[in-house]
Amino acid sequence: MHELKIAEELIGIITKVAESENLKKVTKVNIQFGKMIQIVPDIFQFAFEGAVKGTVAKGAKLNLEILAVRFACNKCKEETEIDDLLFVCPYCGSNDLELIQGRETIVESIEGEK
């Protein structure tokens, strides 16, 4: 269950941001995961709620967004989202693709009270 490890790492980031911004309480965390990270949102929510206990982010609302997998075709230069595991350009049939979105983890924002 890699969701727990990611949630624990996120708490480290939240704590550092809260300290640098002099936040007494973190109220909301907005995070994005690329689909290829394979986060299960309900499991991540549960892991996050456990990880924030006893921290400045206790009770913080988590907004989680899953970003689609996007590729650029090196042959025809078209960009496309791909939902299945068949990584083939739907425009020209080439499998010479470059990943442009889908493996990232982005802490979009951390909100809190001073």
**Domain for residue 97, yes or no?**
no
Which amino acid, residue 55? T
**Domain for residue 78, yes or no?**
no
User: What pLDDT does 82 receive?
Assistant: 83
Q: Judge whether residue 1 has pLDDT over 80.
A: no
Q: Which of 77, 24, 32, 31 is nearest to 55 (CA)?
A: 24
**Domain for residue 73, yes or no?**
no
Which residue segment(s) compose the domain that 55 sits in? 2-68+102-113
**Domain for residue 39, yes or no?**
yes
Domain count along the chain: 1
Please report, for the domain that includes residue 52, its CATH number.
3.30.2320.50
For strands 61-67 and 25-34, give the pairing.
parallel
| pLDDT tens per residue, range 50-101 | 999 999 999 999 999 999 999 999 999 999 998 777 788 999 999 999 999 9
User: What pLDDT does 75 receive?
Assistant: 96
54: its two tokens: 């006893």
Whole-number average pLDDT of the chain: 94
